[in-house]
Amino acid sequence: MLKFLLLANKQGHVRLTKYYEYSEISERTTLEADLIRKVLARSENQCSFLDYRDYKVVYRRYASLYFMIGIDHEENEMAILEFIHLLVEVMDMYFNKVCELDIMCNLEKAHMILDEMISNGYIVETNK
């Protein structure tokens, strides 16, 4: 099950968040700051999976955006990595070569795409 999805740029600014389980706002902000700091500190040669608190985090960088998904320990990391790629392909098709500015200016449309693909923390749609 997916626990959260974060999009952040190379400077560490959060551009999109979606949580699939309840947590306090203060807990969310510390999670985001710590996780983004850890992901940005990793080199290109390191694996795209890391353990963070009670989550396994799968991330992938596309252009200037980092896509990070927190999952429980029963989920398949490679499937999530493929899902991130699918999500980027869908956003590319919708926004015609998606960039950070497209997501920031059309936040409700980005959330709509996520809601169509993920329901209650489970991936429900994998068809472009």
Sign of CA dihedral 113, 73, 23, 10: negative
CATH number of the domain that residue 70 is part of = 3.30.450.60
In a domain, 9, yes or no: yes
In a domain, 116, yes or no: yes
For 5, 17, 46, 69, 107, the CA distances from 32, given in Å and listed in that order, are: 10, 9, 20, 11, 18
How is residue 13 written in tokens?
A: 């600014």
Q: Are 88 and 114 in contact (CB under 8 A)?
A: no
In a domain, 76, yes or no: yes
**pLDDT tens digit sequence for 12-67:** 999 999 999 999 999 999 999 999 999 999 998 999 999 998 899 999 999 889 99
pTM: 0.92
Domain extent at residue 93 = 2-123
In a domain, 24, yes or no: yes
Residue 121 DSSP symbol? T
pLDDT at 3 over 90: yes
Average pLDDT of 70-85? 95
In a domain, 111, yes or no: yes
